[in-house]
């Protein structure tokens, strides 16, 4: 219970717990001895009447009323004093913005939306031809990749500003901003052919290896070979700041309706699937429904086992994305259930995320911090919050594949009903 969040989904805001003193392990809990926990958060705006509370390993409590201290029967002042907030520095009472991240099925691009800004990132190794030397030359698949940008541009008819930035490494061209700027110019020129830019103000920039997407010192970066690391960081970013952010439908990252082919067991969400997790045993996954709340979908994935997956053998890589996708934002989040994606045509909608200020790889998914063990006859509940992908049903897909810590689970749960809050 050390990752409790207070959320205002209606305002795209996440509040971090100001102290970890509400952790169950601090007190211990036993049958017949109920325990009251008092997480402390920064105050919401006075006009906020209800919030949501993300409870790790339990679920998400919806419609939690916000009341004054005079309306409760426990000593609020004593609880705040016990939290020891005066010893916390810096004290993060302000909320963090909640955003979304969607990745193309082939991993070639991804789209992030945060604070009204849309960023489409394209991997340069796939966007440009291998024989590009003096000048960058777009590859045969470039137009398919740029379709993600074209779709975003078309969804904002009022236009805005577009910044195209090419990020290089010391292994390509001269390893300086001129090489990145040349790639950005090639992308901008092609976008002018593919999209109507009449209402958009376009700028070109170059970045070098000193502005990596994935930091070498991140948890993921320390695992990767140089070429794998460079593959993630060689990129072109197209940043759209629309004049009217409410115009766009930014839930998908690419054009195309074909879902990726399932490579693991498939079953109805309520029925669930059983997967073999390496040499450690069998694990069951199910999800009965998701709840639509203020532009988000809230769900709980259930895990169960027949035999213990113990603390020393539990495969940590079981719930990670492939390294390229994991490095898109979550290079420091290797202990979270990151691969619980919703299919939206050919696009994978990842769990919603919040961004911690301070730069670097500071995006955190609104999903569970994974325990090191799952016990028999016990159901682990993994709460997850996704941006709303629409529809009356959703499909949960764990894409599988190798990652820096092992092999991920591959499974698909279909026909999961969407209900209104």
Q: One fold for both 98-247 and 266-420?
A: no
| Structural element, H or E, at residue 125 | helix 124-127
Query: So what's the pLDDT on residue 266?
Result: 97
Model confidence pTM above 0.85: yes
At 259 the pLDDT is: 86
The contacts of residue 308 (CB under 8 Å, 6+ apart) are: 281, 373, 374, 375, 376
> Mean pLDDT, to the nearest integer, of 96-117?
92
CATH architecture label of 266-420:
Sandwich (2.60)
Q: What average pLDDT is seen over the chain?
A: 87
**What CATH class has 98-247?**
alpha beta
Which parts of 17-140 are beta strand (E)? 50-55, 59-65, 96-104, 109-114, 117-123
Segment 389-401, tens digit of pLDDT: 999 999 999 999 8
pLDDT at 21 over 80: no
H-only helix segments in 248-366 = 323-326
User: Mean pLDDT over residues 39-57, rounded?
Assistant: 94
Q: Which pLDDT does position 57 carry in this prediction?
A: 86
What pLDDT is recorded for position 166?
93
Q: What CA–CA distance (Å, rounded) separates 121 from 254?
A: 11
Structure tokens given for 210: 């000193």
pLDDT the model gives residue 376: 67
- What does the block give as tokens for 281? 């045993």
The CA–CA distances, whole Å, from 210 to 230, 360, 410 equal 12, 12, 35
Residue 404 pLDDT greater than 50, yes or no: yes
Q: Is a pLDDT exceeding 80 seen at residue 104?
A: yes
pLDDT, tens digit (0-9, with 9 covering 90-100), for 190-227: 999 999 999 999 999 998 777 888 988 899 999 999 88
Q: Would you list the domain boundaries of the chain?
A: 5-94, 98-247, 266-420
Tens digits of residue pLDDT in 137-156? 999 999 999 998 999 999 99
Per-residue pLDDT tens for 273-332?
Answer: 999 877 677 889 999 999 999 999 999 999 887 776 654 445 678 899 999 999 998 999
- Bridge partners (DSSP) listed for residue 410: 399
Task: Output DSSP code: residue 275.
Answer: E
233-251 pLDDT, tens digit per residue, is 999 999 999 999 888 764 5
């Amino acid at each position: 219970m050390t990752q409790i969040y207070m959320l205002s989904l209606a305002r795209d805001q996440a509040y971090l717990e100001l102290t970890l003193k509400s952790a169950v392990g601090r007190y211990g809990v036993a049958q017949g001895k109920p325990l009251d926990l008092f997480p402390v958060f920064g105050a919401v705006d006075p006009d906020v009447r209800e919030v949501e509370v993300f409870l790790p390993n339990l679920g998400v409590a919806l419609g939690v009323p916000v009341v004054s201290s005079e309306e409760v029967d426990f000593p609020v002042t004593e609880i705040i004093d016990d939290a020891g907030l005066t010893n916390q520095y810096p004290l993060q009472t302000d909320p963090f913005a909640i955003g979304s991240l969607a990745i193309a099925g082939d991993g070639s691009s991804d789209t992030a939306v945060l604070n009204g800004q849309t960023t489409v990132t394209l991997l340069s190794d796939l966007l440009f031809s291998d024989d590009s030397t003096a000048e960058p030359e777009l590859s045969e698949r470039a137009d398919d990749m740029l379709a993600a940008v074209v779709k975003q541009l078309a969804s904002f008819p009022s236009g805005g500003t577009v910044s195209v930035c090419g990020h290089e490494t010391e292994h390509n061209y001269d390893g300086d901003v001129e090489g990145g700027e040349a790639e950005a110019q090639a992308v901008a020129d092609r976008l002018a052919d593919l999209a109507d830019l009449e209402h958009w103000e376009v700028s070109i920039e170059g970045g070098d290896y000193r502005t990596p997407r994935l930091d070498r010192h991140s948890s993921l970066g320390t695992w990767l070979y140089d070429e794998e690391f460079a593959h993630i960081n060689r990129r072109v970013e197209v940043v759209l700041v629309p004049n009217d952010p409410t115009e766009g439908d930014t839930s998908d990252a690419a054009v195309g309706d074909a879902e990726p082919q399932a490579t693991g067991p498939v079953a109805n969400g309520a029925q669930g699937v059983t997967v073999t997790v390496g040499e450690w045993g069998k694990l069951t996954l199910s999800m009965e429904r998701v709840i639509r709340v203020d532009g988000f979908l809230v769900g709980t994935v259930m895990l169960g086992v027949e035999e213990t997956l113990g603390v020393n053998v539990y495969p940590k890589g079981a719930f990670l994305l492939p390294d390229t996708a994991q490095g898109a934002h979550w290079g420091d989040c290797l202990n979270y259930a990151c691969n619980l994606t919703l299919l939206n045509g050919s696009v994978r909608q990842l769990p919603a995320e919040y961004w911690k200020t301070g730069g670097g790889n500071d995006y955190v998914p609104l999903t569970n911090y994974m325990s090191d063990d799952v016990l028999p006859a016990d159901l682990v509940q993994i709460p997850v919050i996704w941006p709303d992908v629409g529809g009356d049903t959703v499909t949960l897909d764990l894409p599988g594949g190798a990652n820096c810590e092992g092999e991920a689970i591959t499974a698909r749960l279909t026909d999961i009903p969407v209900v209104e809050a």
